[in-house]
Chains A and B, each alone.
Chain A
Amino acid sequence: MRASTRIFASIVAAVLIAAVVAAFAIAWRPTIAAIDPPDPQSFDAALVKRGRDLAAIGNCSDCHTPRGARNFAGGLPVPTPFGTIFSTNITPDPETGIGRWSEAAFRRAMRSGVNREAQHLYPTFPYDHFTNVSDEDDRALYAFLMTRQPVRAAPRENQLSFPFDQRLAIAGWKLLFLRHDTYRPDPRQSAEWNRGAYLVEGLAHCGACHTPRNALGAERVSARFAGGDVDDWHAYAINDQSRSPVPWTADALFNYLREGWHPDHGTARGPMAKVVSNLSSVPASDVRAIAVYMASVSGTPAPGRAAPREDALARAKAASQANPVGASIYTAACSSCHEGSRPLPYGGVDLGLSTAISSPDPRNLANIVLSGIDAVEGERSPIMPGFAASMNDEQASALLNYLRARFSDQPAWTDLKKTIVEARRTQTVFLQTSPAPRNAPADPQQREKP
């Protein structure tokens, strides 16, 4: 072997070794020692209560408690472009949950997405937001979770294709997209605004749905709150690109987030329903803070987007002439509630105020028209019948085209039929993922009491 070749080979070897060492250094995390599950009595009750409110703000139950399943026992399939990821059991079960996690292990998972056993966690768990959560709040969340009923439920295997099934890949993802800095208050803003910013950017992780993602599934920093995708629904743009016909104010946001509806905007539904349901039970001051911050994020509406209401009548007439089938369906199926005198949430929103109809993405409207809104047990909530059984795809298209033409000043949607076919398919699947939606007592004697 010539000297030059030898030198070249050793350089290559050195570079390779350095790369392996670097990758190891980046990816490797130590295992944190298992502890004996702490006695629930050892946690301060006030701390647990605060953790409960924080968990509601964080909407933890949405992913970690599939409908009809035991609280926080995980197992919800989360579809991603890379495959399906299942949520984990975060009850204090020592074998299948986080019962053996110390507070330090919990905090590390929140801050850097690494579990106690040192595995990198997929960013479906939104630790890219949870880096902002304070030590104090992590402690309260830990106290809350460790005092829940332990549930023995083994985590389900993720279904991911290569190379996304390699947890090492997550270390690379973090290198590219995870910023480790925590939230720093802006001294120029009010304490309320800062509280809202801390919650929105951190625990509440609003951007996880409302910010569009890049090809590698990271939120696009340049398009914050510009609208994203979640579970076959469109999460509306909530920055200055918002399509809401009436601009959002802090007061409107507060009511919407707290009560689940607002007369100028309609009702929260789809994945947002769970969010507002959770926010109805937390301190009002926190919801107010979130509203104040988000109102400042959505800022002044983009010029020319608010629909001039004067020509609404002319539009209605033109739409009915152009699309008599859609107009007839609207009259019989929609107007009885949406033009009724009953106030929200029992009456339907004036469709001229509907963000769904003014949005560039027709999925939410298709979902809601086909599947309706189910009554929520124990909640004072809106309901709407679904129309999947009474309209075929052409008829549903005719209705949606009519609604778009009559109630927005936006151009007609393209590929509407495809959206409807897809909505029919995915919403059926969505309903089927809830194996036991109603909790009937198992013993018939129990329900036969005279």
Chain B
Amino acid sequence: MMTLKVNGREHQVDVEADTPLLYVLRDDLKLNAAKYGCGLGQCGSCTVIVDGKAVLSCVVPMVLLEGKHITTLEGLGTIAEPAPIQRAFMEEQAAQCGYCIPGMMMRAQALLQKNSKPTDEQIRAELEPHLCRCGTHMRILRAIHRAARLMDTADASPAASGSAR
């Protein structure tokens, strides 16, 4: 049994120390925003935020998560009350099939939390580990800039807005 803190809530989970976080999120906690893409840390679709940093949850074992705070896309906002990053992606229609988008949003969120006005270059460099087969990259770029503007006007870090649970 170990305790896992996800989106502000503590969960008791009965898993092996070498189980990847993604499996626990999806199979045990039914948090399905993070996607299983390649299982090798090479596509980015499983990205979540651990203690403020974007990590690839398919290659992070539980043994590394003792006492850490995990945020998934579900922790940023809800359908009724989307977080700025989610609103921005919807407003720019940045998803086509959408499989990569939760991962993209999580890494963008981590970037915006430490750099509220990233340049195009910085966004491209940061999102380099993420693959999108549909090709909405330009819209994703625009959405992240839009999210930065939204966060600028309404304070939007999940901790501050109280939407993280």
Contact = CB atoms under 8 A, between A and B. Distances in A.
Interface of A: 324-325, 327-329, 331-333, 336-337, 340, 374-375, 383-385, 387, 389-391, 395, 436-438, 440, 447-448
Given A331-B18, A332-B19, A385-B56, 19 more contacts: A324-B17, A325-B17, A327-B18, A328-B62, A332-B61, A333-B59, A336-B40, A336-B41, A374-B128, A384-B41, A385-B59, A389-B55, A390-B55, A390-B56, A391-B64, A395-B64, A437-B125, A438-B128, A440-B120
Interface string B48-74: 001001111011111110000000000
A420 to B, nearest CB: 15
Contacts of B138: 447-448
Nearest to B55: A390
B17 A328 contact: yes
Interface string B8-41: 0000000011111000000000000000000111
B129 interface: yes
Which of A328, A383, A436: most chain B CB closer than 10 A? A328
Contacts of A448: 138
B93 interface: no
A70 B64 CA distance: 42
B54 A336 contact: no
B42 interface: yes
Contacts of B149: none
Given A329-B64, A448-B138, A383 B17 contact: no
Nearest to B42: A383
Contacts of B55: 389-390
A333 B50 contact: no
B interface: dominant SS: mixed
B50 A328 contact: no
B63 A385 contact: no
Contact of A389 (B53, B120, B124, B125): B53
B81 interface: no
B26 to A, nearest CB: 15
A333 B61 CA distance: 7
Contacts of B63: 325, 328-329, 332
Interface string B115-128: 00000110011001
Given A332-B19, A332-B20, A436 B121 contact: yes
B60 A332 contact: yes
Contact of B61 (A331, A436, A447): A331
A389 B60 CA distance: 10
Contacts of A384: 41
A384 B42 CA distance: 7
Given A336-B40, A448-B138, A390 B17 contact: no
Nearest to B56: A385
B124 A438 contact: yes
22 contacts: A324-B17, A329-B18, A329-B61, A329-B63, A332-B18, A332-B59, A333-B41, A333-B59, A333-B60, A337-B40, A340-B40, A385-B59, A385-B129, A389-B55, A390-B59, A391-B64, A395-B64, A436-B121, A438-B125, A440-B120, A440-B121, A440-B124
A385 B61 contact: no
